[in-house]
Amino acid sequence: MTDWSVKYKDRSDQMTTEGKRRARGRSADPARTARTRAAILQAALATFLERGFEGARMADVASRAGLAKGTLYLHFADKTALFEFVLRELISEPLSRFRAAPPAPDETPREALERLVLPLLRDLERSGRATVLRLILVEGSRFPELAAMHRRLVIDPVMAAIRTKVQAAADAGKPELLPLARFPQLMAAPIVMATVWNGLWSGRDPLDTEAVFSAFLDLVFGPSPAR
């Protein structure tokens, strides 16, 4: 929704009489452009994840996207712009899903927490985006605005939601949950832990993030009733 046109070279206004020249090619410009851009994004994400910002090679991104190096620069001013764009995409997208989670009325604290957290987890798992956390972790300190943005858009809302829910439960007769109200980050700790773990010794004894999270809930709330 935001307009990155300057930085990201959204050149949609540079040639108004577009349709006239090249009558031959009906190859839908905007659709094609969108596809190209998606390919770059995909390729850039993979490359940045594997090598980090400094280690990533524009040539790798290009060839992964099936494009020539020069083409990248038609879409992004430079490597930094590409990196920031990738992170922005990855930061803002999961949030919409998180927000989209159904409100849900009379639920136990554990159920509420699972409702809040599990969609995020599922999203993290799917399509390699799980590792984005690692990417932010890795490069965050060198792109402070992006880290701040991530915190503002994702972290703080989630923390606030957890704190609110937990505080309510504590007030309703569960004072043993108060540490969670003080440090809602504890809720994310198992997920961060598992993500880091899986990124680190790739292959050996991977952790099932959801299982870890369930075990954590069992630890805090006692063993899950049914399931």
**Binding of DNA at residue 30 (CB under 7 A)?**
yes
**Binding of its own copies at residue 206 (CB under 8 A)?**
no
Q: Tell me how far apart the alpha carbons of residues 33 and 152 are, in angstroms, rounded to a whole number.
A: 30
CA distance readout (Å), 24 to 2, 14, 19, 20, 53: 34, 21, 10, 10, 40
Q: Which is nearer to DNA, 12 or 108 (CB)?
A: 12
Q: Which is nearer to DNA, 52 or 157 (CB)?
A: 52
Q: CA 129, 133, 136, 139 torsion: positive or negative?
A: negative
CA distance readout (Å), 203 to 32, 49, 50, 207: 37, 16, 15, 10
Work out what residue 69 binds among its own copies, DNA, none; the CB cut-off runs from 5 to 8 Å by kind. DNA
Q: How far is the CB of 40 from DNA (least distance, A)?
A: 9
Question: How many positions of this chain bind its own copies (CB under 8 A)?
Answer: 52
| Amino acid, res. 227 | R
Which 40-79 positions form the footprint of its own copies (CB under 8 A)? 50-55, 68, 71
Q: Tell me how far apart the alpha carbons of residues 140 and 138 are, in angstroms, rounded to a whole number.
A: 6
Which 168-187 positions form the footprint of its own copies (CB under 8 A)? 176-177, 179-180, 182-183, 185-186
Here's the x/- map for DNA, 75-94, by CB under 7 A: it reads as x-xxxx--------------
Work out what residue 19 binds among DNA, its own copies, none; the CB cut-off runs from 5 to 8 Å by kind. none
Q: SS3 for 47?
A: helix
